Chain A
């Protein structure tokens, strides 16, 4: 299983929106509505931000939203805030209880 493809970086000014793509195949992203997104600050463990493509866990601001079309999923962060600066990883279920992660995107708040 190959890593899902994400852009290495994305940026926006405070208050703006940024969208990160996550491209896989019909064997992972395209085959299941089980895409999740994780936020990781330096030296910290990843934190779940989105699950099942577009659902937000309790406590995650509604500024974070997810979607999917075909083999590509997307995470949008609206109303960017300084604390949103972090690395973001997508993940997808990939059959037989296997999971594949994305290559990661560093989001910079300008």
Chain B
């Protein structure tokens, strides 16, 4: 049973880079069976897909965020990471990591989420 856990700073200053890590347990991030994704949810608002990565390093980004997003994978630590640059208050949100089984097109296992606030 996969379990995912987000970690990272809860407060980021405007114009800086938001960095989060998702640790995967109960399975290998190097498995060819999954993609690994990030989703965010501003307070009181809806969900937004940020992007995803395959263990090989292939990445897929939401076109609206593509210029600011980098998702990477660290197989030695069984983790994948999110970097979002030039943040503003609009990037304040709960950030979730999740898995997508290959050949499936839905997020089947989610982390608990972590709130990141952008403020000086």
Contacts and interface: CB of A to CB of B under 8 A. Distances in A.
B104 A45 contact: no
Nearest to B53: A97
Interface stretch (A12-20, A71-79, A99-107): A99-107
Contacts, number: 66
Interface residues of B, number: 24
Q: Which range contains the number of A residues in contact with the other chain?
A: 20 to 34
B105 A98 contact: no
B15 interface: no
Contact of A102 (B35, B46, B64, B106): B46
A46 B47 contact: yes
Interface of A: 1, 3, 32, 34, 36, 38, 44-48, 51-52, 57, 89, 91, 93, 96-104
Interface of B: 35, 37, 39, 45-49, 52, 60-64, 96, 104-108, 110-113
